[in-house]
Amino acid sequence: MKHHLIIVACLLVALASCAQSKEATSTDAAGTKAPASAIVENRQANGDVYYARRATLFDLLPVGESDIIMLGNSLTDGAEWNELLDNPNVKNRGIVGDIVQGLYERMKPILVGQPAKVFIMSGVNDVSHGVTADSIARATEKLIVLIKAYSPRTKIYLQSMLPFNNQVREWKLLVGREQVVVDANRLLEQVARRQEVTWINLYPLFADEQGRLRAEYTNDGLHLLGPAYLVWRDAIKPYVK
Amino acid sequence: MKHHLIIVACLLVALASCAQSKEATSTDAAGTKAPASAIVENRQANGDVYYARRATLFDLLPVGESDIIMLGNSLTDGAEWNELLDNPNVKNRGIVGDIVQGLYERMKPILVGQPAKVFIMSGVNDVSHGVTADSIARATEKLIVLIKAYSPRTKIYLQSMLPFNNQVREWKLLVGREQVVVDANRLLEQVARRQEVTWINLYPLFADEQGRLRAEYTNDGLHLLGPAYLVWRDAIKPYVK
């Protein structure tokens, strides 16, 4: 019962927020620098010009009912998913540095297209910002509720967070936070079950025996080399068809 | 006559270099961190983990005879070209920070596929490294000669360099170097004519009256916002079909 109340509350917040964003994201056909949402504005004000740039591109690229959206942060951004999956309907909507709330705030140009599928990968930047596993799971649930509300036919695939490896290169903001990823994944799996979306547990495919990102898959302890993207691709391929 | 000698010399160097790289780029199916070429190794040693990562992905993604390759630096990397051009054969082979020699050294996985077309965009990072217009043009000619030698059926499209705008944000390494771009473009056009490849002069579409990148197209004076990619897309679309 408590869960239902939370979900209804989230939905109301989501609808209000999305309604606001409908006004905020209008694109000037003549070309504009106007940021698409509060988070983009905030990112740009803080010098994250890449985020703002990529969001202005995503505002202009159409999404259709056959499309499969790869939604996420730098891990998603870094690949050529349409090539990896050999499917022209697969579209990259990853932005380096994004957090779960960032995905939420830039959903409008995706949801208006009522895409067939959305694959979500997020959370590690939230961890680096000190966000708890519980907050990551709640933000992700809010995102899923938003997608279901605005595009009920979209099939949602929630991918687990991947491990990182601070022995390959130290990410100061991730030191000692390995367990947050493990805890978040446990909660995210519950979110997936509760929301009746597909859970894809990628973590075991990328973790070594100590729960670190396999050293051979990365050159910086966090991001993925080419062969690691093939592992990810193989794991999700059955769901893409 | 002098030009022919230069071209033959370049070709010999190219062949030797490419032959070496055939050994150097062999990919371990089990996953490897081995850099694909000297420039990738160098980049990784200097902490440019993104470059090395993206090169390992490109080593694994197949290229075919119908493919249209968008080859370049961050300007190319930043877009979703298959979506912009609504063509699944269009493949992004841009890497942030790349220089003309970098393109040259990572051509092997592209050329083995004998792609239908290659669009080249490069040079501004060379300018920021203090490279002269003349050297940029010579390196680009060497790249074109390599492509023609290894994939004679590939149609090559040489795109002009774009202007930058140090008033939007100062790029210290580009201060006072606006003229290098203008001079390089003049020489690149000659290269295109000499090599009988298609020259696409994008510069006038992106420059304001002072020869700066139009302020409305950028949020950092160098990279492009979404609407600017539509301008670029429209300019090359007739050549993509």
Q: pLDDT tens across B188-202, in order?
A: 999 999 999 999 999
Contacts 24+ apart (CB under 8 A), A169-176: A169/A220, A169/A221, A169/A222, A169/B49, A170/A221, A171/A128, A171/A221, A171/A222, A173/A127, A173/A128, A173/A129, A173/A130, A174/A124, A174/A127, A174/A128, A174/A222
User: What structural domains and CATH numbers belong to chain B?
Assistant: 2-240 (3.40.50.1110)
B114-170: pLDDT as tens digits: 999 999 999 999 999 999 999 999 999 999 999 999 999 999 999 999 999 999 999
pLDDT attached to residue A28: 32
- So what's the pLDDT on residue A39? 67
Closest CA to B80 of A196, A42, A92: A92
Q: What pLDDT score was predicted for residue A11? A: 44
Q: Which of B216, B219, B227 sits opposite A44 (nearest CB)?
A: B219
Listing DSSP states for B117-162 in one string gives EEEEE--HHHHHTT--HHHHHHHHHHHHHHHHHH-TT-EEEEEPPP
Amino acid, res. B104: Y
Closest residue on chain A to B27 (Cα): A227
Q: Nearest to residue A161, comparing CAs of A204, A132, A225?
A: A204
Average pLDDT of chain A is 88
Report CB contact under 8 Å: A58, B226. yes
State the best of B49, B89, B110 to mutate against chain A, taking most chain A CBs within 10 Å: B49
pLDDT at A3: 53
Enumerate helices (H) and strands (E) in chain A, giving the number of each.
Answer: 12, 5
Distance from CA of A231 to the nearest CA of B (A): 10
d(CA A206, CA A231): 8
- Asked if B88 lies within 8 A of A92 by C-beta distance, the reply is no
A-B Cβ pairs (cutoff 8 Å, strict): 112
Residues of chain B in contact with residue A56, where contact means CB-CB under 8 angstroms, are: 225-227
pLDDT for position A37 = 63
Residue A76 has pLDDT above 80, yes or no: yes
Asked whether residue A31 carries a pLDDT value surpassing 80, the answer given is no
Residue A8 pLDDT exceeds 70? no
Please give the radius of gyration of chain B, using alpha carbons only, rounded to the nearest integer. 17
Look up residue A189 and give its two tokens: 């799996």
> H helices then E strands: how many in chain B?
12, 5
Q: Residue range A12-20: average pLDDT?
A: 41
Contact B219, B227 (CB under 8 A): no
**pLDDT (tens digit per residue) in B72-89:** 999 999 999 999 999 999
Most B CBs within 10 A among A25, A28, A33, A218, hence the mutation to make, goes to A33
Q: Which range (A68-72, A195-199, A231-235, B33-37) has the least confidence?
A: B33-37
Q: Which chain A residues are within 8 Å of B75, Cβ to Cβ? A: none
Which residues of chain A have a CB within 8 Å of the CB of B230?
A: 60
Q: B224, A53: Cβ pair inside 8 Å?
A: yes
What is the pLDDT confidence band of residue B94, given thresholds at 50, 70 and 90? Answer: very high
- Grade residue A26 by pLDDT with cuts at 50, 70 and 90: very low
Confidence (pLDDT) at B185: 98
SS3 for A165? Answer: coil
Residues of chain B whose C-beta is under 8 A from some C-beta in A? 27-28, 30-33, 44, 49-50, 52-54, 56-61, 78-80, 82-84, 88, 91-92, 169, 216-217, 219-220, 223-231
Strands B117-121 and B68-72: parallel
Tokens of B147: 């492509």
| pTM flag (> 0.90) | no
> Is the distance from CB of B173 to CB of B99 less than 8 angstroms?
no
The residues with which A117 forms a beta bridge, in sequence order, are: A68, A155
Task: List, for residues A77-93, the tens digit of each pLDDT value.
Answer: 999 999 999 999 999 99
Q: Cα separations (Å) of B210 from B100, B176, B187, B207, B226?
A: 26, 13, 21, 7, 23
Residues comprising chain A, all counted: 241
Output the six-digit token pair for B224: 């492009």
Q: Which residues of B touch A33 (CB under 8 A)?
A: 216, 219, 225
Is the ipTM higher than 0.90? The answer is no
Supply the pLDDT for residue B217.
97
In whole angstroms, give the CA distance from residue A222 to residue B35.
18
Question: Which residue is listed with tokens 């992106």?
Answer: B206
d(CA B207, CA B204) in angstroms, rounded, equals 5
pLDDT, one tens digit per residue, over B11-57 is 444 444 443 333 333 333 333 344 456 767 777 777 789 999 999 99
What is the per-residue pLDDT for A47? 77
Find how far residue B154's CA is from the centre of its chain: 15
Predicted pLDDT at A65: 98
Min Cα–Cα distance to chain B from A190, Å: 32
Residue of A nearest to B87 (CA): A88
**Cα separation, A26 vs A28, whole angstroms:** 7
Spatial separation of the C-alpha atoms in residues A154 and A65, rounded to whole Å: 9
